[in-house]
Chain A
Amino acid sequence: MLSPTQILDQYYLEARRDLLEIAALLDRYDAARLRDGADDGNHVQRDILRRALTHLADSETPSGERTSTLLELFAET
């Protein structure tokens, strides 16, 4: 099994890429709302994503449970 340092060395850049994709998705969403000027009131998926990101950023989250917690969150849709 990999050490903590090895895990970051191995997967940091992929995590960086994935976070940038999420940031770009949210920017794209905001730009579309600004451009179209329409609000259909259906932002459930956007809210789920925000809750997921907040959950990941929470340092109090029990170690090793982040993935299953997110899966439960996504199941709400």
Chain B
Amino acid sequence: MQIIQPHYHAIARTTQDYERMAMSGVVAVCEPAFWAGYDRRHAETFIDYFVQISEFEPTRAAQYGIRHFCWVALNPKEAEDPGLTREVLDAMPEFLDKPTCLGVGETGLHKSTKNEIDALQAHVELAMEHNQLVLIHTPHLSDKAHGTKKVLEVLDGLDIDRNRIWIDHVEEQTVKSVLDAGYWAGMTLYPITKCSPRRAIDILEKYGTERLLVNSSADWGPSDPFTLQECIFEYRLRGHSTQEAIEVFHNNPCRFLGQNPKWDIKPIRIETDTTV
């Protein structure tokens, strides 16, 4: 089965990931800009990072037959310096023009401070000015419900196309508000601190598959890109067909990301599904 990994931080992972992902059906990964584990102090550091994910990383993935796409943004955790935020935003349009860059992300909120909210708003406005997709991070753990509500409030005040915005890391307490508002929602599978494969399938079974994405967001912390395959396995174990799995784990990413013409991977349909 062909799989798309919509949220994956490749620069934090070894090449062995690519090899194993290729062997397990992954045909494309998308790498949003991420936090480095410390707060970067210079816009140039971000620029070099954007070069890495827009130019180098696609070549590393290509060695294993995997397409690599990226997103650019300043991370919400680094939004407390408005001057740095502005410098990074000013540098981003050059990268939005790169052939594998899909949009602005991951922006969003961490502690939902005023500076974070201002940065989120500026990122979304930049994306809309440049006709880009947006990927929005929602906070972790106890900050999630409040932060997601705040994200929706910020977006309510902006002139946006909701179908072009993906709000990520939803869980049971936030998914309904995101879907009801007309956005795409992403479920991130983490071994401990986010959604589990079984809970993600519960959400798919409860809310349906429309405008829902599943990803592993594998990074330098406790994470595992193969929770995505574990999730597919659980989905199939519960009796969902191969085509239904393709709709969630391949075609839905194509539907959202395909709104950017640089994404040329099309939804697929198997002719006869006898594997239910």
Contacts and interface: CB of A to CB of B under 8 A. Distances in A.
A25 B199 CA distance: 9
A35 B198 CA distance: 18
Contacts of B196: 17, 20-21, 24
A28 B205 CA distance: 9
Interface string A3-45: 0000000000110010011001101100100000000000000
Nearest to B195: A20
B194 to A, nearest CB: 9
Contacts of A27: 202
Given A13-B192, A14-B192, A17-B193, A24 B205 contact: no
Nearest to A21: B196
A47 to B, nearest CB: 22
B206 interface: yes
Nearest to B171: A20
B206 A24 contact: no
A20 B172 CA distance: 10
B55 to A, nearest CB: 36
A31 B193 contact: no
B222 to A, nearest CB: 9
Nearest to A14: B192
Nearest to B196: A21
**Most chain B beta-carbon neighbours within 10 Å: one of A14, A21, A24:** A24
A21 B234 CA distance: 14
Interface string B204-248: 011000000000000000000000000000000000000000000
A21 B195 CA distance: 10
Contacts of B202: 24, 27-28, 31
Given A13-B192, A13-B193, A14-B192, A20 B199 contact: yes
B192 A24 contact: no
Contacts of A14: 192
23 contacts: A13-B192, A13-B193, A14-B192, A17-B191, A17-B192, A17-B193, A17-B196, A20-B196, A20-B199, A21-B196, A21-B198, A21-B199, A24-B172, A24-B196, A24-B198, A24-B199, A24-B202, A27-B202, A28-B198, A28-B202, A31-B202, A31-B205, A31-B206
Interface of A: 13-14, 17, 20-21, 24-25, 27-28, 31
Given A14-B192, A17-B196, A31-B206, 9 more contacts: A13-B192, A13-B193, A17-B192, A20-B199, A21-B196, A21-B199, A24-B172, A28-B198, A28-B202
Query: What 10 A-B pairs are tightest by C-beta distance, nearest first?
Result: A24-B199, A17-B192, A13-B192, A24-B202, A28-B202, A13-B193, A14-B192, A21-B196, A24-B198, A27-B202
